[in-house]
Structure 1
Amino acid sequence: MGEDRRTAINFNAELHARPSIYFSGPALVEHVAIIAGSFATSKNIETQLTSAYAPDGARVQVEHHTEFTTLTKVTPLKLPVLEWPQETRLLRDFGVEPPAVEVVCRISLLVLDAPPVDLSPMLKQYGFGDTAASSIGGAAAQVCSDFLVGPGESSRVILFNAELNAYRLGRMVRRICEIETYRSMSLLGLPEARRLGPLLKGFDERLAFLTKLHLNTSPEEHKRLLSEISMLSAEVISAAAETRNRFGATAAYATIVEERIAELRETHVPGFQRFGVFVARRFKPAVRTCSATALRLDQLSHATMHLLDLLQTRIQLEIEYQNTVQIRAMADRAAVQLKIQRAVEGFSIIAISYYLLSLLKLIVEALDHAGVHLGPFAMLVSVPAVVVAVALTIFRVRHALS
C-alpha cells in the first residue's frame, strides 16, 4: 500500500513538474535551451541563481527535460523602454558556454503594456524587420517577431499585454518559449535527413540493380547475389536504426509545436502575417522532409527484406528440385535392384533345387547299394516336387519380409 501511495504521489507531482513563472508588468524574459548531456543537474543551481539575481528582482527557472535543459530568466523593467534592454548571458552563471554545451535556441522576449494603434513605428524602433504578428488569448495580448537573431544571438519577440493577469501572462510566455524550443529541437532531425538523401538514392539504385540481377542470375551465382542483397539490407537497417530515435523525436516535438500554436488562439492583426502561420509554413516542410526520409528508410528496409525472401525462396525451390531429382534417381536404382533381386531369386531357386536334387541322388544311390531299389521313376517324380517346394519356400519368405 505504501509503494502504491508513493506512485500515486509521483504521478500527481508530474502535473506540477514544470510550473510557469508568473509575473506582471514590463519585463525581459530570456530563455535558453541547451543539450543536457554535459550540463550540471545540481538541485541547488536554481536557488543559487535566484539569489544571484535577487538585487535586480529577477527570477530564474531551470528545467531538465529528457534531451535538453532550459533556463528562463524574468527581469522586471521600468517604463518607458525606448530600446531593447541589455541581455545577460545565463550560461556564464553556470560556468559553461559553447562549445562546452550545445545551445539549441536563445529567445529574448520583451513584455510591454497594451499595443499601440500603429505597430509599425514601434517595431522599427526596436529594430524589427519583416514582422509576423497575431492577437492571442482572445485578443488579450499581441505577439510580434521577425524570427531573426539579434545582437545578443537571441531570437527576439515582443509581447504586448492588454488584459492578461500574472498567471495568464506567465503561461502565455511559456507557450511562446516552448514553440521556439520544441521547433528547434524538432529540426535537429533535418541534418540527418539531408545526410541520408544521397545514401537513400544510392540504396534505391542498388536495390533496382539487384532486383534486375535477381531475374537473370543463374543458380550458380545465387550465393554471390544473396551476399550482396544481405549487405544492402544490413546497410539500410543500420541507417534506420541510427536515425529512428531522432526522427521519432522530430515528429513528437512537431506535435507539441502545433499544440502550443493552437493554444495561443490566434486572430489576425491587419497588415501582418500571423505568428503561428509564419512558424508553420517554414517549419512543417522540414518536418515532412524528416518524415519522408524515415518512410523511405522503412520502405527500403521492407523492399530489401522482400527481395531477400524471394531469392531465398528461389534457392530453396532449386534445392527441393535437386532433392526431387535425387530421390527419383534413388527410386530408379531401387527398381533396378529389385529386378536384379528377382532375377537372382529365380537363379537361386534353380541352384537350391540343383543342390537338393544332387543330395537326393546321393541318397538314392546309397539306398541302391544298401539293397533298396527305388528306380528311375522316383527320381523323375522328385525333380518337379523339389523345384516347387523350393519356389514356394522362397516366395513365402519374401512375402513375410515384405
Structure 2
Amino acid sequence: MQHALCLLVADIAGIWTSQGGFMTADFNAELHARPSIYFTGPAYVEHIALMPSAPPALHGSRYLSDGGGSEDPRTQVEHHTEFVTITRVTQLSTDADEWPVSGFSVSEIAALVDMDAPRLISRVGILVLGNPPEELGPTLSKLGFRDTAASSIGGGAAQVCSDFRVQDDHTSRVLLFNRDLNAYRLGRMVRRVYEIETYRSMALLGLPEARRLAPLLGNYDKNLLELTNRNQTTPTTEHKKLLEEISGLSAQIISAAAETRNRFGATAAYAKIVEERIGELRESHVPGFQRFGVFVARRFRPAVRTCEATALRLDKLSHASMHLLDLLQTRIQVEIEHQNAIQIQAMADRAATQVKIQRAVEGFSIIAISYYLLSLLKVAFEAADHAGYHISPLVMLVSIPLVIGAVAISILRVKHALSAHA
C-alpha cells in the first residue's frame, strides 16, 4: 500500500513538472533568493538602489568576484521587481576615525547594472564599528552627525545611529556599533537597516503623485457637485449635454486612477515591508536619543497615509461619478419609457377609433346592401304584377327583415373568417 502511494505521488509530481508547474527546487530556491553578505569586524557597507527605465528582466541575487583577500570588497547585485540594488562590503583594518570615502564610481555602477541612465532611488552608507563608546556624543560629532536618532537593536547586541541627512554625494549615513553579533547576524542586521532606507524611498515615490493629484481632485469634487445639482434641475431637452459632461468627468477620474493605481499599490506594499523591517530590529531606547525606528515612522507614515488617502479619494470619486452616471441614465430611461407609454396609449386610442369607424361602416354596409336587395325585390314584384302575377304586399313586408338578417349574417361570417385567417 505504501509502495503504491509513493508511486502515485511520484507520478503526480512528474505530471505537474511536465505541465510547467514549479518543482520543489524552484520553491526552495525562492527561499534563498536574497541572501545577505556575511562579514565580521569593522567594515563599510555601501548600498545603492537604482530604478531602470524598464523593469528588470532578471530576478534574484548574484555575487561578483573579488580579490579573495580579507580586505577585498565583496559586491552583491540584486534584481527586484521595480529596481536593482548593489551592495558592497569593504572590510576595514581598524575602527575608522572619519567617514570612509565611497568606493563606487559612476562608471563602475553603470557597468554593474548594465543600464542606460538609471534613476537613483537611495544610497546608504553604513559604517560598522566595534563596541559603542560610553558617550555617543563626541563620536557622532567627530563623524559629522547632527540631531541623531539612536537605538539598541538585536536585543542589545548592537547599536544603530543616523541623522537621516542626505550628503552631497546623495548618501544617507548610518553608524552601527557591534557588541556581540556574529557574521551571520551582523549581515542580516545590516541588511535590515539598508532595506529600511531603500523601501522607504521606494514607498515615497507615490508622494509626488499624491501631491500632483491634490488640485485635480479638488476640481473633480467641485465639478461632480455641480453636475449632481444640475442633474436634479436639468429639463429633459438637455439630458444629452449633461450625460456627455458626466461621462467626460468620469473618464478623467478613471484615467487618473489607472495611472496611479500601481504606484499607490506599490507604496502600500513597500510601507508594509518598512514596518516589518523596523519590527525585526527589536530596538530599545538609548538614553538621550530618539529611537531609530520611531524617527522613521513618525516622518514616514504621514506620507504613506497621504498616498492612501489620495488613492481612496480617487476610488470614491470614481464610484460617485459612475453612480451619478447611472442615475442620469436611469432618469433618461424612465423618461423614454414615459414617452413610449404615451405613444402606445395614443396608438391604442387610434386603434379604438378605427374599430368604432369600422363597426359604423359595417352597419352602413348592412343597410346599403339590404336597401339595394330590397330595391331589386321591389322591382321584381312590380314586374311580376304587370305580368299578371299578383303578389301580396305581406310578402314584401316579410322579406324586409329576412333580407336585412341574411345580409348581416353574411357580413359577420366574412368578418369572422378574415379574423380567424389573420
| TM interval, short-chain normalised | over 0.9
The residue matched to 1:135 in structure 2 has which SS?
Answer: strand
Equivalent in the alignment of 1:261: 278
- Quote how far apart the aligned CAs of 1:38 are: 5.8
Moved more, 270-279 or 341-350: 341-350
In structure 2, C-alpha distance between the alignment counterparts of 1:131 and 1:56, rounded to whole Å: 30
- Quote how far apart the aligned CAs of 1:7 are: 2.9
Equivalent in the alignment of 2:145: 128
Equivalent in the alignment of 2:324: 307
**What is the one-letter code of the residue matched to 2:242?**
L
Percent identity (aligned): 64
- Quote how far apart the aligned CAs of 1:384 are: 1.1
In structure 1, C-alpha distance between the alignment counterparts of 2:262 and 2:165, rounded to whole Å: 29
Conserved in 1, the CA contact under 8 Å of 2:55 and 2:82?
Answer: no
- Quote how far apart the aligned CAs of 1:318 are: 0.8
- Quote how far apart the aligned CAs of 1:399 are: 5.2
Moved more, 82-91 or 229-238: 82-91
The residue matched to 1:145 in structure 2 has which SS?
Answer: strand
Conserved in 2, the CA contact under 8 Å of 1:38 and 1:101?
Answer: no
Q: Which of 2, 17, 21 in structure 1 is aligned with 2:37?
A: 21
The residue matched to 1:311 in structure 2 has which SS?
Answer: helix
Residues 1:80 and 2:95 are matched in the alignment: yes
Equivalent in the alignment of 2:351: 334
In structure 1, C-alpha distance between the alignment counterparts of 2:84 and 2:51, rounded to whole Å: 6
* Residue deviations 1:119-138 (CA, integer Å, cap 9, x gap): 11111111100000011111
Residues 1:33 and 2:69 are matched in the alignment: no
**What is the one-letter code of the residue matched to 2:84?**
T
Pair 1:387–1:11, CA change in 2 (3 A): same
- Quote how far apart the aligned CAs of 1:341 are: 1.3
The residue matched to 2:274 in structure 1 has which SS?
Answer: helix
Pair 1:326–1:53, CA change in 2 (3 A): farther
Residues 1:244 and 2:244 are matched in the alignment: no
- Quote how far apart the aligned CAs of 1:339 are: 1.4
Equivalent in the alignment of 1:93: 108
Instruction: Normalising by structure 2, report the TM-score.
Output: 0.89
Moved more, 21-30 or 323-332: 323-332
* Residue deviations 1:182-228 (CA, integer Å, cap 9, x gap): 00000000000000011000101111111111111111111101100
**What is the one-letter code of the residue matched to 1:32?**
I
Pair 1:248–1:119, CA change in 2 (3 A): same
- Quote how far apart the aligned CAs of 1:373 are: 3.9
Conserved in 2, the CA contact under 8 Å of 1:34 and 1:102?
Answer: yes
Mark the runs of 5 or more structure 1 residues left unpaired by the alignment.
Answer: none
Conserved in 2, the CA contact under 8 Å of 1:50 and 1:58?
Answer: no
- Quote how far apart the aligned CAs of 1:85 are: 1.1
In structure 2, C-alpha distance between the alignment counterparts of 1:292 and 1:176, rounded to whole Å: 28
- Quote how far apart the aligned CAs of 1:40 are: 8.3
The residue matched to 2:65 in structure 1 has which SS?
Answer: helix
Pair 1:40–1:335, CA change in 2 (3 A): closer
- Quote how far apart the aligned CAs of 1:323 are: 0.8
Alpha carbon RMSD of aligned pairs, Å? 2.4
Pair 1:14–1:354, CA change in 2 (3 A): same
Residues 1:118 and 2:118 are matched in the alignment: no
* Residue deviations 1:80-118 (CA, integer Å, cap 9, x gap): 311111112254214469981100000000001111121
Aligned pairs for 1:50-61 within 5 A: 50-51=65-66, 56-61=71-76
Pair 1:314–1:65, CA change in 2 (3 A): same
In structure 2, C-alpha distance between the alignment counterparts of 1:171 and 1:5, rounded to whole Å: 32
Moved more, 50-59 or 131-140: 50-59
Residues 1:388 and 2:385 are matched in the alignment: no
